[in-house]
């Protein structure tokens, strides 16, 4: 791990990340429709012959998709390599700001310039210590300025786990997106579940060794994992039923790579179909990873993982002799 001078990082401020890059598609009605459906935005301004694009779609027209970006300078990659080399291996998007200069309409051809606007001094946050990097993108439609999109990320070295954050309070970005490069030899704990008001009842059930499935009060459809509303009827009132604990392996994967702290590959992750009909992702225990099979009967039990965490897991009823 290499020490970084702030001067070295600041030298990137003002460097172009992309110049005159083309959007992959012109502004178009199908992308607008899909976006509005995904957002649940029924504003009539986004439909019909005089439709405009939702202003907040600004970034969508510049995204590279799976095939990547064209016309990028190496500045961004160089900055990230420098930060990676200094131990700031994790990244989280923190916020964005947009300014709209003119509406976008189907047929508009998009180009954009992107510049590394600022790199902050070293900052310590709850997630870890690192640098905020702000990129500004100036978007043009048919060559005219159409809007500005500022996007800020934090490139950071993750804070040591278990230093203050209460169980269940770990933000998703911290447990999901980070690549923990620390090399402490201490015992790694399994990631804490994110407990929120939508799923707290599930974890209260686990504490009492009951696997609770939500049931819609309107149409009685069972649902798992826990959600605020019913996918079948939209109803928001629900109660619970306790799973009998019987189930079978609906599908599974064997994890070899990548390694995660507290997990010892290879291991099997099962998608277990409960007797009640809903499915849950869990570990299949009591059988070697290479003996897990689709259709294998399993039975619920509760595994104490560490002092603070207990999880529902499923024991192979047949001891692997399938």
Binding site for Zn ion (CB under 5 A): 216, 218-219, 221, 230, 232-233, 235
Of residues 86, 79, 97, 165, the one with CA closest to residue 127: 165
In three-state secondary structure terms, 152 is strand
Q: Nearer to Zn ion by C-beta: 74 or 234?
A: 234
Minimum CB separation of residue 206 from Zn ion in Å reads 24
Minimum CB separation of residue 231 from Zn ion in Å reads 8
How far lies 33's CA from each of 38, 110, 140, 265, in Å?
A: 9, 18, 22, 43
Q: Nearer to Zn ion by C-beta: 196 or 231?
A: 231
Decide if 47 contacts 41 (C-beta within 8 A).
no
Q: Nearer to Zn ion by C-beta: 134 or 214?
A: 214
Minimum CB separation of residue 283 from Zn ion in Å reads 30
Furthest CA-CA distance within the chain: 69
Minimum CB separation of residue 216 from Zn ion in Å reads 3
Decide if 249 contacts 293 (C-beta within 8 A).
yes
Sheet architecture: strand order including 212-216: 222-223, 212-216, 238-242
Minimum CB separation of residue 217 from Zn ion in Å reads 8
Running DSSP on this structure, what letter comes out for residue 195? Answer: -
Q: Nearer to Zn ion by C-beta: 136 or 223?
A: 223
Q: Nearer to Zn ion by C-beta: 232 or 254?
A: 232
């Amino acid at each position: 791990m290499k020490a970084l001078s702030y001067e070295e990082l600041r030298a990137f401020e003002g460097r172009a990340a992309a110049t005159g890059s083309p959007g992959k598609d012109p502004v178009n009605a199908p992308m607008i429709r899909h976006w509005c459906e995904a957002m649940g935005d029924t504003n009539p301004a986004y439909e019909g012959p005089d439709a405009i694009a939702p202003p907040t779609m600004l970034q969508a027209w510049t995204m590279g998709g799976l095939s990547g970006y064209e016309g990028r300078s190496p500045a961004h990659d160089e900055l990230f390599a420098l930060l990676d080399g200094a131990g700031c291996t994790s990244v989280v998007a923190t916020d964005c700001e947009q300014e709209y200069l003119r509406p976008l309409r189907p047929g508009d051809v998009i180009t954009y310039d992107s510049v590394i606007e600022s790199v902050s001094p070293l900052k310590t946050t709850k997630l870890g210590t690192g640098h905020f990097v702000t990129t500004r993108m100036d978007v043009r439609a048919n060559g005219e300025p159409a809007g500005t999109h500022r996007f800020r990320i934090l490139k950071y070295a993750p804070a040591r786990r278990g230093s203050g954050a209460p169980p269940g309070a770990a933000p998703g970005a911290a447990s999901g997106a980070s690549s923990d490069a620390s090399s402490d030899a201490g015992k790694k704990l399994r990631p804490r579940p994110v407990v929120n008001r939508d799923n707290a009842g599930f974890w209260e059930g686990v504490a009492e060794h009951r696997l609770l499935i939500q049931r819609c009060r309107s149409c009685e459809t069972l649902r798992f994992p826990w959600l605020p509303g019913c996918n079948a009827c939209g109803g928001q009132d629900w109660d619970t039923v306790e799973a009998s604990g019987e189930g079978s392996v609906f599908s599974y994967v064997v994890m070899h790579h990548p390694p995660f702290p507290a997990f010892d590959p290879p291991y099997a992750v099962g998608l277990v179909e409960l007797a009640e009909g809903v499915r849950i992702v869990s570990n299949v225990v009591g059988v070697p990873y290479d003996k897990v099979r689709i259709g294998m009967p399993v039975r619920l039990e509760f595994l104490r993982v560490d002092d603070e965490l207990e999880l529902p897991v499923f024991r192979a009823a047949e001891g692997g002799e399938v």
